[in-house]
Amino acid sequence: MVATAQEQTYEAEIEAWRQSMDEKLRAETGWLTLTGLYWLHEGQNTLGSDPGCDVVLPESTPAQLGYIDFHAQTTATLHITASAEVLVDGVVANTIRLRSDSHPQGASRVEIGSVNFFVIKRGSQYGVRVRDRNKPERLNFSGRIWFPINPAYRISATFTPYPEPKTLQIANVAGLLEPTLSPGVVDFTLDGQSVRLEAFEGGENELWFVFRDTSPLTYPASRFLYAPIHPDGTATLDFNKAYNPPCAFTPYATCPLPPKQNILAFPLEVGEKIPHGSV
């Protein structure tokens, strides 16, 4: 059967979106560059390529680069002790207080050669996430793997907002709980079954979903989906755009797990498949 012009336009749009998702993974700051995640402890946390350091950096960095002085579970101060040029937010620095990614300005970016690292906050814990743009997994990435595009899985759902956004305690793959706002739920029919999903805030006029299904061909922890909200109170959930979270590609992500009401009791073989060699 020959596809109509409308179907061809839709498939082209999905293919372009999927290509953009590949490019995000391959980016110099993408998830494929991660080499480690290290939780900070009170006091001095040593930095360097020496495996005995608290925060182990790639081999291209000095064995002992310096340390992060971490106090009162909030303040992280970087001290560079090696004779190496280190940039913090693009400026050469030797001693400087680092912002975490929970700061309104975002995390301070520390760079040395192809390596960069920054402080993250998850729940009540702080850690250092390390990247290397020359990591082979990034340079050799062959692309995400997708099910064939199926327009039948572009679903119109009814969005029911809560009177006030509800705060849910959502577990992540690191075993931490994070408070997450839910503005409401969506209801729709999928493969003849009634489905209700808890929504999270996804941005202006957009919902974000974290869900799981039973297919052995999909990533078992969860998949993500963003859906626009329309003025008539509906939301469009296009499961052809369901995609794997960062933790499918790196063990150093802290992805949220789905709330129990978003765990589907049936397979949903549309969108992204489980990647080869997933972590």
Rounded mean pLDDT, 10-30: 95
Nearest to 117 by CA among 38, 173, 175: 38
Confidence of residue 6 (pLDDT cuts 50, 70, 90): confident
Identify the three-state secondary structure at position 143: coil
What DSSP string runs through 64-107? --EEEEEETTTEEEEEE-SSS--EETTEE-SEEEEPBTTSTT-P
As a whole number of angstroms, the distance between CA 148 and CA 125 comes to: 40
- What tens digit of pLDDT does each residue of 51-81 get? 999 999 999 999 999 999 999 777 899 999 9
As a whole number of angstroms, the distance between CA 79 and CA 5 comes to: 60
Question: What single letter denotes the amino acid at residue 205?
Answer: N
As a whole number of angstroms, the distance between CA 48 and CA 128 comes to: 12
As a whole number of angstroms, the distance between CA 176 and CA 205 comes to: 29
**pLDDT of 218 higher than 80:** yes
The DSSP bridge pattern shows strands 43-48 and 55-56 to be parallel
Rounded mean pLDDT, 120-133: 93
Ranges of each domain in the chain: 32-139, 144-262
Confidence of residue 117 (pLDDT cuts 50, 70, 90): very high
Tokens read off for 3: 């596809």
Tokens read off for 94: 């030797």
| pLDDT at residue 166, as a whole number | 94
CATH of domain 32-139: 2.60.200.20
| pLDDT at residue 1, as a whole number | 54
Contact 82, 154 (CB under 8 A): no
| pLDDT at residue 73, as a whole number | 72
As a whole number of angstroms, the distance between CA 85 and CA 168 comes to: 43
Question: What single letter denotes the amino acid at residue 184?
Answer: G
- What tens digit of pLDDT does each residue of 84-93 get? 999 999 999 9
Decide which of 7 and 195 is more confident.
195
**pLDDT of 2 higher than 60:** no
